[in-house]
Structure 1
Amino acid sequence: MLDIAAEALHSWSVRAEPFAVATVVSTSGSAPRPAGAAMAVDAAGQAVGSVSGGCVEGAVYELCREVLAGRGPVLEHFGYSRDDAFAVGLTCGGALDVFVQRVVPAEQPEIAAALAATAACEPVALTRVVSGPGHLLGRAMLVRPDREAVGTLDGGDLDRWAANEAGALLSAGVTGLVHHLCGDETVTLLVESQTTAPRLLVFGAVDFAAALTRAGALLGYRVTVCDARPVFATPARFPAAHEVVVDWPHRYLASTPTDARTVVCVLTHDEKFDIPLLTRALRMPLAYVGAMGSRRTHEQRLRLLADAGLPPEQLDRLHSPIGLDLGARTPEETALSIMAEVIAWRNGASGLPLRQLEGPVHRPLMSVV
């Protein structure tokens, strides 16, 4: 649900409009959308979002209309349909479970608060009962990073357990299912985690950086351009960047917040900037550190970094020459090459053409079951 909060749901909630929302709670095989992907339908029949990329959208839309009209919450399974070309199923061969419920913002303030927090880019976890005792289905709780909870599931032990589980998943940035035994019945909760956007730090206010900021912003990164030269590091040259900083790169990296999702791309081609910056970056727990340059430049850079005291295991973290082999020439093509490598590295993928590989096209995302 949170993946379409800013798209429409927050505004529907502010206007106190009831709506039905269908959320993917689990997937298997080559399912096109991950857990947490959602479609919502309002009273006028307007639909936003997607649960399958097109395979079962029509059936899910009708389920939403039924639930909005008064049918209770429902957990529906969709799988591959081969015998009947017109049957509802995923032609990709995967399977997914979708939970559909009616939301009335005035009666469910915890959901309204979760939508508002997500629209404001605040980290939050929304926990909902998607399977278990009928009287609990659809009940929700909002959990913040400090594990403060808004709303209640059962008013007792389940609330305390769910707050701790949701807080842990939020810390890891994970959306998934968790299970808890309540008496003789198992309660299944969907925890949707909404964290702050990962950061892309681009060092070097060059023409390639302008294209890279656009690509990074398109992929959901919060993009910063940093350069020590004020004549080049200007917001006018990098309109897609969220911020442009004039500072020495290594000094800025030491002072700005980073985490295990942060991507660092060094485009300066200048040893006085590159070596102090990479010396620091390769010692930090960052997601990706890449540097632009030829193979000759890379070899020289490795020697200088080794002289600065970096051991082989830290040098091995450097992606240089940066990017995948796409034959890129223009700044835009180079930006695509770089971000393609970032995505492949983040997902543990090979970067090879899919036609050379076997198995599901869509890799399973990290989840908790």
Structure 2
Amino acid sequence: MLDLAGPLCHWIEEGRDFAVATVVAVGGSAPRGPGAALAVDGAGTVIGSVSGGCVEGAVYDLCREALRTGQSVLERFGYSDEDAFAVGLTCGGTIEVLVTPVAGGAPARTVLSAALSAAAQGGPAALARVVRGPAELLGRALLVRRDGTFEGGLGGRPELDRAAAAEARTLLEAGRTGTVELSAREAGREPLRRESEEGAHCPGGLTLLVESNVPPPRMIVFGAVDFASALARAGKFLGYHVTVCDARPVFATQDRFPDADEVVVDWPHRYLRRTATDTRTVLCVLTHDAKFDVPLLKVALRLPVAFVGAMGSRRTHEDRNRRLRSEGVTDRELARLRSPIGLDLGARTPEETALSITAEIVAARRGGTGAPLTGTNTPIHHGDGEDGQPAVA
């Protein structure tokens, strides 16, 4: 839902009532992951997507019905031979979708509005919603901030709100979106009993979908070369905050790298020591000059970042490894280095090279192999990455 924060904030400012459908769980091969959303306003205007087209019509109808009744509903869509080309996922997967009305009298409108506003402004915040549990709690929402404060509520029980806020804060700190289970005891409730579709009783508790909104991950490109310009453009397309760093002021200019969020003139290793990085940060070393590469990689390979790659021929790679070992870099640290950087696409131009590099970054992030899908039996959609986003990208 938070991926639609910008347009939904406009709808709220305009006083529109709307219903939002959010993917809360996926199984098998599904086009989009938890957090993907589609919204429909009172006039029938649609934004977003939950399935890439497979079940959009049925979800649209659910949103219209939710606006009419004012009730949240959880619906499951899956593949079957009978309805594969009617309502279902022809790719063979299943998705569960929570549909929540966001109308003037809806209990969750205030907190959803606050969450959407925080996301639109880029502030770190997590939105926790009940997606399984008693019908009266379905869709109830809690907005949790990084300092642990929260607003909204999941049903008038302070102990439930505190437990949910603690779980949501954990996912927020990791920058992940996903579901968490609260037992009846954690929720401060007596064990609940409800009828399943098969008629069997199952114990109570709650399932929450927690959507995290965090600043975009960083891509730091070292070396103000033509390849860096193309890579900065590709990095922005993938949603990274891109920095280009080079020690040479004549080359490191904003005019040469208009797609970069910032251009820094500094020795690469010195800048890397002082700038903020985290487990989502991607470091791309394109200088292929030992006087820059070696001190930079000595620092980079000891940081808890997501990806460290370096450009250069295989001969350059071997020489660089020898120099790094002489500087005390261990074999275990060297094993983190992806060099020569990029997948084997036969790339020649800067743009093709940028595609090769970003393809390797996506594969590393999502657990892909980089092999052609044709002729392979591996899953097309892998599990969530470290930031909790679905394997689309």
- Structure 2, unaligned runs of 5 or more: 193-203, 389-393
**Cα contact 1:179–1:187 (8 A) shared by 2:** yes
Q: Which amino acid aligns with 2:308?
A: V
**Cα contact 1:30–1:360 (8 A) shared by 2:** yes
1:129 corresponds in structure 2 to 130
Q: Which amino acid aligns with 1:16?
A: G
Structure 1 residues 157, 352: closer, same or farther in 2, change over 3 A?
A: same
CA-to-partner distance for each residue in 1:167-216, whole Å, 9 max, x for gaps?
01111222122222232232221111112110000001100000000100
* C-alpha distance in structure 1 between counterparts of 2:241 and 2:331, whole Å: 31
Q: What SS does structure 2 have at the residue aligned with 1:356?
A: coil
1:5 corresponds in structure 2 to 5
Q: Which amino acid aligns with 1:171?
A: E
* C-alpha distance in structure 2 between counterparts of 1:235 and 1:275, whole Å: 26
* C-alpha distance in structure 1 between counterparts of 2:133 and 2:374, whole Å: 42
Once the two structures are superposed, the pairs formed by residues 53-64 of structure 1 within 5 Å of their partners are: 53-64=52-63
Q: Which amino acid aligns with 2:372?
A: P
- Among 243, 262, 266, the alignment partner of 1:224 is 243
1:295 corresponds in structure 2 to 314
- Among 254, 258, 271, the alignment partner of 2:277 is 258
1:243 corresponds in structure 2 to 262
2:35 corresponds in structure 1 to 36
TM-aligned CA deviation for residue 138 of structure 1: 1.5
* C-alpha distance in structure 2 between counterparts of 1:299 and 1:86, whole Å: 54
For the aligned residues, what is the CA RMSD? 1.4
**Cα contact 1:16–1:106 (8 A) shared by 2:** no
Q: Which amino acid aligns with 1:40?
A: A
TM-aligned CA deviation for residue 237 of structure 1: 0.9
CA-to-partner distance for each residue in 1:270-316, whole Å, 9 max, x for gaps?
11111111110011111111111000111110011011110100011
- Among 230, 238, 243, the alignment partner of 1:211 is 230
2:92 corresponds in structure 1 to 93
- Among 180, 183, 198, the alignment partner of 1:178 is 180
- TM-score normalised by the chain length of structure 1: 0.96
1:149 corresponds in structure 2 to 150
2:348 corresponds in structure 1 to 329
**Cα contact 1:13–1:105 (8 A) shared by 2:** no
Task: Report the count of equivalent residues.
Answer: 366
* C-alpha distance in structure 2 between counterparts of 1:69 and 1:154, whole Å: 23
Which is further off, 335-344 or 131-140?
131-140
2:19 corresponds in structure 1 to 20
Q: Which amino acid aligns with 1:5?
A: A
- Structure 1, unaligned runs of 5 or more: none
TM-aligned CA deviation for residue 105 of structure 1: 6.5
Q: Which amino acid aligns with 1:229?
A: R
- TM-score normalised by the chain length of structure 2: 0.90
**Cα contact 1:105–1:112 (8 A) shared by 2:** no
2:196 corresponds in structure 1 to none
TM-aligned CA deviation for residue 359 of structure 1: 4.0
**Cα contact 1:105–1:111 (8 A) shared by 2:** no
1:273 corresponds in structure 2 to 292
* C-alpha distance in structure 2 between counterparts of 1:132 and 1:198, whole Å: 34
The answer to whether structure 1 residue 115 and structure 2 residue 134 are counterparts is no
Which is further off, 356-365 or 126-135?
356-365
TM-aligned CA deviation for residue 87 of structure 1: 2.7
* C-alpha distance in structure 2 between counterparts of 1:129 and 1:20, whole Å: 16
**Cα contact 2:367–2:383 (8 A) shared by 1:** no
Q: What SS does structure 2 have at the residue aligned with 1:362?
A: coil
Which is further off, 186-195 or 289-298?
186-195
